[in-house]
Amino acid sequence: MHKVAIIGVGCSKFGEMWDSGFRDIVISAGVEALEDAGLEGKEIEAMFVGNMSGGRYLAQEHIAALIADYAGLAEFNIPSTRVEAADASGGLALRQAYMAVASGVHDIVIAAGAEKVTDVGNPMDIMISSIDKEWEGFVGATLPALYAIIAKLHMEKYGTKEEDLALVSVKNHKNGALNPKAQFRKEITIETALNSTYVAEPLKLFDCAPISDGAAVVILASEEVARKYTDTPVYIEACSQASDYLAIQNRKDILTMNSVVVAAKQAYKQAKIETKDIDVAEVHDSFTIAEILAYEDLGFVKKGEGAKLIREGVTELHGDLPVNTSGGLKACGHAIGATGVRQAVEIVLQLRGDAGKRQVNAEKGLALNIGGTGATAIVTIFSR
Amino acid sequence: MKVGIVSYGTYIPIYRIKVEEIARVWGESAEAIKSGLGIYQKSVPDVDEDTATISVEAAREAVYRANIDPKDIGAIYVGSESHPYAVKPTATIVGEALGVGNDFFSADLEFACKAGTAGMQMCIGFVKSGMIRYGLAIGADTSQSKPGDALEYSAAAGGAAFVIGKDPIAVIEETYSFTSDTPDFWRRELQPYPSHGGRFTGLPAYFRHVTSAARGLMEKTGLNAQDFDYAVFHQPNAKFPVRVAKMLGFTNEQIKQGLLVPYIGNTYSGSSILGLAAILDVAKPGDRILLVSFGSGAGSDAFSIVVTDTIENFERNPSVWDKIEKGVFVDYGMYLKHRGKIRT
Amino acid sequence: MLPRFWRKIKYRYDLVGSYCENCQSFFYPPRNLCPHCRRRSKIKEVPFNGKGKVLSYTVVHDAPEEYKDEKPYVIALIELENGVKVLSQLVCDPKEVEIGMEVKKAFRKYGEDGASGIIYYGTKFVPAGHF
């Protein structure tokens, strides 16, 4: 297997981008990545795109071809592939790109993630097709409702409090304020979070990430090729993916995302590291409870002790293990298919020392991208 | 051959609205209404309930108590004037929900408030002729009433289901119907609310048909009022059944157990048969019951029913009066939402 | 949605699930293949007892368009007597729901395909003491 490096990253602003269409957003992120890598564009051999639902948000399928076209890459007839796993589509694209380079099939590959959600009236209606529509959706469950059921049991069994969930939101907003690309750039107080309206008890408005427009691009190259383009490659030490039962009623234990546990274990093993070696992490806080679960399922703490980490400030920007320095999905925004790639962009910036005001000291980073309520998880470990 | 009621089940939605609450909105005198109709409150279905859900719940209770294999049910008839579909039967929804299979006779019935008892008569015929082993007859309604109309105080929701077959807990020893073309209360196709003839609904309609059916039955059987332990009549309000009972020579004692309308209102196709179920809840072997339904348009089905020893081993809890007592009150706005009179 | 809804009404109107004779496991929603046995699956249809208890729940305030009439409503994860877990609506005053409370199945309307479309019925749950 070849060692895989990231030689360029780019990211659009995340948010409600009324003036930008899907093509505008993707191309802006892509050009930024090409500039970052010092490429013209013709060096790209293949592209993998994560996009959850061009079909329902834009009535547009064949997304990969569309992006290749507007990126000027259809000019060279490169293979362009779209992959989908709900809001883990970006992580999937990253992994497909990683495997293409690691296997030696290609030397320089783009992993992109993009979603344009604001051209429809209610983006959340489409977002919830990540759940089991037939058996969970039919009975009136929404995506927040399913995470809320998990949160309620976590609170009952482990004593996690609504305050702990609010602390996650406060931290991520604080970090987002330092991220020029973030959708929400204002700090919030714990009172604001706690007093916000219930979406599905116990989760409130500030426990739920927005659905946003956005795109992110990373350019992967084999180690040898990477040396031609950059002195600061960031290596992907591992990129593991796992699945779990789709409907939460079929999970062995709804408080553990087995997809995350398994993907994380495989990633640590391949990267030859332990959890204590991780210096910075981007996790999938589509809902605040998901971040607390991530602390546990990634092995940062034992099952049930996730709330402790946030209470003790361990995962704050300047804590022992900063999590979601970008602002996370909550404050940076959640552009569904783009998120997995955006997380990679953040880790790369951190490891390169290019994270501006939110810079932390990190040699190894981790990104966790989840689909829906956890039926898909991708764990990627990066190092400098 | 003893054919009759093998089992019965009932369902009354849990919500209630008081006459005072409706009168408050329309500026009427609650006391006048209560003393005029003899109704204090009525049942209100939940937002997700309708005639089909009520029919299924009542039927499930009946089948459970009967301890029979649903596949032995050879006919299902649901009588209502508020079927969820104008075209597409409620009876097949019941059949599917009960797991009856595909081998059954079926249709929906409409005859205002007597469609349920009409179904019972049809099932008796099927069983007696040997065409089926068990028949399921259901009368259920969630009838609509025009806001501000007098009917708003009485139009309620509920239903009862009867498994008809041999070796019953109560034999239907005779049935007789009196029918005529009398337009006392009707609803034209595509109209949301019914119309009625005011005082015309009394003597020429309710009283004529109920007394004619009752007398016709008693003539056929040679029985008179004293031969019955209980009597239950269709209950559009509390006044009519009390008056017709007197006209036929029945005492207040005989009709008390089955007189539910003051507490749940008029459940239309469920009305007289929920009263019958309330009587069966307490009846003893050998008790004889008179049931006379009334459907506008118009007609009455009269039944003479005799309870057997088998009722002693029959599960009768929770009783109809238990269900009536369990009520959760709503205000008029909630009532409108539940009834779909206001929608998002 | 018509054929898609109709295809499963047997499993929605009542709690009819799957049983694998090979490994003696129960499943709901019904499955074509036992996830433990895969090719060696011996799947049968079985009706489940409608009694269970609440493992966890939420009260949905932000409801999708088709359920706006009913909000706030309770979605509960219910464990049936045979150990199978079912996600369903629990028709109950939200203030009275508790983890561990006993519930039983009920036949209710889940919605409709517009005012002129078909009506979707299915299984919800109510508190066990409900009539």
Question: Is B281 at the interface with chain C, CB within 8 A?
Answer: no
Q: What is the 3-state secondary structure (H, E, C) of B163-194?
A: EEEECCCEEEEEEEEEECCCCCEECCCCCCCC
Residue of C nearest to B94 (CA): C13
At A204, is the secondary structure helix, strand, or coil? strand
Enumerate the β-bridge partners of residue A384: none
Domain membership flag for residue B343: no
Look up the domain containing A70 and give its range. 4-122+212-234
Contact at 8 Å (CB) between B279 and B250?
no
- The token pair at A111 is 């992993």
Check whether residue A60 and residue A148 sit in a common domain.
Answer: no
Q: How far apart are CA A182 and CA A190, in angstroms?
A: 20
Q: How far apart are CA A304 and CA B32, in angstroms?
A: 63
Q: How far apart are CA A62 and CA C126, in angstroms?
A: 46
Per-residue pLDDT of chain A in tens (384 residues, 90 and over written 9): 999 999 999 999 999 999 999 999 999 999 999 999 999 999 999 999 999 999 999 999 999 999 999 999 999 999 999 999 999 999 999 999 999 999 999 999 999 999 999 999 888 889 889 999 999 999 999 999 999 999 999 999 999 999 999 999 999 999 999 999 999 999 999 999 999 999 999 999 999 999 999 999 999 999 999 999 999 999 999 999 999 999 999 999 999 999 999 999 999 999 999 999 999 999 999 999 999 999 999 999 999 999 999 999 999 999 999 999 999 999 999 999 999 999 999 999 999 999 999 999 999 999 999 999 999 999 999 999
Domain count, chain A: 2
- Closest approach of C30 to chain B, Cα-based (Å): 16
Spell out the alpha helix ranges (H) of chain B.
19-26, 30-37, 51-66, 90-98, 115-128, 208-221, 239-247, 252-256, 261-264, 271-280, 320-325, 332-338
Domain count, chain C: 1
Cβ contacts of A375 within 8 Å, gap of 6 or more: A86, A243, A244, A245, A246, A259
Contact at 8 Å (CB) between B137 and B77?
yes
Q: Which residues of A touch C124 (CB under 8 A)?
A: 139
Domain membership flag for residue B344: no
Q: How far apart are CA B110 and CA B112, in angstroms?
A: 6
Q: How far apart are CA A220 and CA A235, in angstroms?
A: 9
- The token pair at C91 is 């028709």
For A299-302, the CB contacts below 8 A with 24+ separation are: A299/A261, A299/A264, A299/A265, A299/A268, A299/A275, A300/A275
CATH of the domain at B262: 3.40.47.10
> What pLDDT is recorded for position B343?
76
Judged by 3 or more CB pairs under 8 A, whether B touches A is no
DSSP3 helix / strand / coil % (chain B, rounded to 5): 40, 25, 35
> What pLDDT is recorded for position C1?
67
Here the ipTM equals 0.95
Comparing CB atoms, the residue among A122, A145, A156 nearest residue C58 is A145
The answer to whether the Cβ–Cβ distance between C14 and B85 falls below 8 Å is no
CATH of the domain at A137: 3.40.47.10
- Closest approach of C61 to chain A, Cα-based (Å): 5
Look up the domain containing C9 and give its range. 2-127
At C18, is the secondary structure helix, strand, or coil? strand
Q: HSE, CB side, 13 Å, CA atoms: give it for residue A64.
A: 18
Per-residue pLDDT of chain B in tens (344 residues, 90 and over written 9): 799 999 999 999 999 999 999 999 999 999 999 999 999 999 999 999 999 999 999 999 999 999 999 999 999 999 999 999 999 999 999 999 999 999 999 999 999 999 999 999 999 999 999 999 999 999 999 988 999 999 999 999 999 999 999 999 999 999 999 999 999 999 999 998 899 998 999 999 999 999 999 999 999 999 999 999 999 999 999 999 999 999 999 999 999 999 999 999 999 999 999 999 999 999 999 999 999 999 999 999 999 999 999 999 999 999 999 999 999 999 999 999 999 888 77
Question: Is A249 at the interface with chain C, CB within 8 A?
Answer: yes
Domain membership flag for residue B327: yes
Domain membership flag for residue B148: yes
Q: Which chains border A (3 or more CB–CB pairs < 8 Å)?
A: C
Q: Which chains border C (3 or more CB–CB pairs < 8 Å)?
A: A, B
Q: How far apart are CA A373 and CA A335, in angstroms?
A: 16
Check whether residue A204 and residue A75 sit in a common domain.
Answer: no
- Number of Cβ atoms within 10 Å of the Cβ of A15: 20
> What pLDDT is recorded for position B342?
84
The burial class, CB within 10 Å (0-12 / 13-18 / 19+), for A273 is middle
Which one, of B240, B275, B66, B63, lies nearest residue B158 by Cα?
B275
Question: Is A128 at the interface with chain C, CB within 8 A?
Answer: yes
Catalytic site positions of B = 81, 113, 234
The answer to whether the Cβ–Cβ distance between C69 and B337 falls below 8 Å is yes
Q: Which residues of C touch A125 (CB under 8 A)?
A: 64-65
The tens digit of pLDDT for each residue in B287-316 reads 999 999 999 999 999 999 999 999 999 999
Check whether residue A332 and residue A356 sit in a common domain.
Answer: yes
Backbone angles phi, psi at C59, to 5 degrees: -110, 115
Question: Is B99 at the interface with chain C, CB within 8 A?
Answer: yes
From the candidates A152, A154, A156, A293, which should be mutated to test the interface with C, based on the most C CB atoms within 10 A?
Answer: A152
> What pLDDT is recorded for position B30?
97
- Number of Cβ atoms within 10 Å of the Cβ of C115: 7
C25-27 sheet: strands from edge to edge: C25-27, C16-20, C43-47
> What pLDDT is recorded for position A162?
97
| A180 CA to centre of own chain | 17
Residue type, A81: T
Residue of A nearest to C90 (CA): A139
Asked if the model's pLDDT at residue C2 lies above 90, the reply is no
CATH of the domain at C33: 2.40.50.840
pTM over 0.80: yes
From the candidates C74, C121, C125, C126, which should be mutated to test the interface with B, based on the most B CB atoms within 10 A?
Answer: C121
Comparing CB atoms, the residue among B49, B96, B322 nearest residue C108 is B49
Question: Is B84 at the interface with chain C, CB within 8 A?
Answer: yes
Give CA separation, A32 vs A183, A235, A336, B93, in Å: 18, 20, 20, 60
Q: Name the interface residues of C facing A (CB cutoff 8 Å).
A: 8, 12, 27-29, 35, 55-65, 67, 70, 73, 75-77, 85-89, 94, 99, 110, 120, 122, 124
- Arithmetic mean of pLDDT over chain C: 95
Check whether residue A115 and residue A154 sit in a common domain.
Answer: no
Look up the domain containing B245 and give its range. 3-338
The answer to whether the Cβ–Cβ distance between B344 and C108 falls below 8 Å is no
